[in-house]
Amino acid sequence: MHFESFADFIAMGRHGFYVWLAYGLSALIIIYNVVAPLLRRNKLIKEQTQRLRRERGRRPAVTGPDQHNPEENNAPSA
């Protein structure tokens, strides 16, 4: 162990402000880089699952060659 006490360690030989600022800012950037893709993954899975469910729900039970476009179901019939 290079330092004699914990307070000594925090002080970093009077360079504590610089050392801990450098590591603090780096930690923030690193945490963002971990959290961002995880949140995006959750959002993607949620959106795509909903889309899938919607498509399944609209599709007629018997799938034939003249399958309806899901969008057409909303159009008013003439």
Partner 1 sequence: MWQWLVRLYHRLGSPKWFYEITEKWIPWLVVVSIVGAVVGLVWGLAFAPADYQQGDSFRIIYIHVPAAILAQSAYMMMAIAGAVFLIWRMKMAAWVAKTIAPIGASFCLIALLTGAIWGKPTWGTWWVWDARLTSMLLLLFLYFGVMALHQAMESEDSGHKASAILSLVGLVNIPIIKYSVEWWNTLHQPATLKLTEKPSMAIEMLIPLLIMLVTTYAFFALLVILRTRNEILLHERKRSWVKKILES
Considering the rule CB under 8 A, would residue 4 count as an interface residue with partner 1? Answer: no
Which two tokens mark 37? 């893709």
Maximal C-alpha separation, the chain: 87
For partner 1, the binding residue among 38, 61, 62, 75 (CB under 8 A) is: 38
Q: Please give the Cα distance from 19 to 10 (Å, whole number).
A: 9
CB nearer to partner 1: pick between 20 and 73: 20
In the complex, minimum distance from the CB of residue 59 to partner 1, in angstroms, rounded to a whole number = 13
Amino acid of residue 10: I
Is residue 15 within 8 A of residue 9, CB to CB? The reply is no
Task: Compute the radius of gyration of the chain from its Cα atoms.
Answer: 28
Considering the rule CB under 8 A, would residue 67 count as an interface residue with partner 1? Answer: no
Give the interface with partner 1 as residue ranges (CB under 8 A).
Answer: 1-3, 9, 12-16, 18-19, 21-23, 25-26, 29-30, 32-34, 37-38, 40-41, 44-45, 48-49, 51-52
